[in-house]
Amino acid sequence: MSRIRLLPDIVASQVAAGEVVERPPASVVKELIENSIDAGARKIEILIRRGGISLVRVVDDGCGMDRDDALLSLERHATSKIRSAADLAAIATLGFRGEALPSIASVSRFRLTTREPNAIAGTEIIVNGGKIDVVRDGGEAPGTQVEVRSLFYNLPARRKFLRSENTESRNIEHQLQLQAIGHPQIAFSFVRDTRLVFQLPPAASLHDRIRDLYGNELLERLLPVSGAGLDKIEISGLVGRAGLSRQTRAQQLVFVNGRAVESPVVTAALREGYHTALMKGQFPVTFLFLKLDPASVDVNVHPAKREVRFRDPTAVREAVVNSIRRALEGGRSDWQEKFHAPAAPPRPTIGTTAKIPEAPPRELPQLGGALGERYNVVAGVADPGRAAAKPDELPSRTRTQGDSSPRQFQIIGILNKLYVLMENADGLVLVDQHAAHERILFEELRRRMEEQGVPSQKLLIPQTFDLPPRDAEWVERNLSILQKMGIGIEGFGPNTFKIDSLPAFLQTSDPISFMQRVIDDLKSASDSSSALRLGEEMIAMTVCRHAVKANDPLRYLEVEKLIQDLLECDLPYCCPHGRPTMIQISLAELEKKFGRKV
Ligand SMILES: [Zn+2]
Q: How far is the CA of 549 from the centre of ligand 1 (A)?
A: 11
Does this model's pTM top 0.95? no
Determine the distance separating the centroid of ligand 1 and the alpha carbon of 573, expressed in angstroms. Answer: 12
Give yes or no for residue 133 having a pLDDT over 80.
Answer: yes
Mean pLDDT value across residues 387-407: 38
Is the pLDDT reported for residue 20 higher than 60?
A: no
State the distance from the centre of ligand 1 to the C-alpha of 435, rounded, in angstroms. Answer: 6
Q: How far is the CA of 434 from the centre of ligand 1 (A)?
A: 8
CB-count burial class (<10 Å; 0-12, 13-18, 19+) for 568: middle
From ligand 1's centre to the CA of 270, what distance in Å? 20
* pLDDT for the residue 510: 82
Q: Quote the crossing angle between the two packed helices 313-330 and 264-273, to the nearest 10°.
A: 30
Split at pLDDT 50, 70, 90, the class of 139 is low
Distance of CA 438 from the midpoint of ligand 1 (Å): 6
Burial class (CB in 10 A: 0-12, 13-18, 19+), 1: exposed
Distance from the alpha carbon of residue 576 to the mean position of ligand 1, in angstroms: 5
**CA 575–ligand 1 middle distance (angstroms):** 5
For residue range 309-340, list pLDDT tens digits in order: 899 999 999 999 999 999 999 888 888 888 88
**298 CA distance to ligand 1 centroid (A)?**
40
Instruction: Measure the CA–CA gap between 217 and 215, rounded to whole angstroms.
Output: 6
When pLDDT is averaged across residues 555-581 and rounded to a whole number, the result is: 90
> Which has the closest alpha carbon to 582: 590, 572, 591?
572
Ligand 1 centroid to residue 477 C-alpha, Å: 27
Task: Check: CB of residue 128 under 8 Å from CB of residue 110.
Answer: yes
Amino acid at 74: L
Distance (angstroms) between ligand 1 centre and the Cα of 92 equals: 44
What is the 446 CA–ligand 1 centroid distance (Å)? 15
C-alpha of residue 439 to centroid of ligand 1, in Å = 8
Q: How far is the CA of 412 from the centre of ligand 1 (A)?
A: 24
How many Å lie between the centroid of ligand 1 and the Cα of residue 242?
A: 14
What integer pLDDT is reported at residue 191 of this predicted model? 97
**Residue 345: pLDDT band with limits 50, 70, 90:** low
Average confidence (pLDDT) over 266-292: 91
Residue 96: pLDDT band (50, 70, 90) is: very low
Mind giving me the DSSP string for 157-190?
HHHTT---HHHHHHHHHHHHHHHHHH-TTSEEEE
- Residue 475 CA to ligand 1 centre (angstroms): 25
Residue 506 C-alpha to ligand 1 middle, in angstroms? Answer: 16
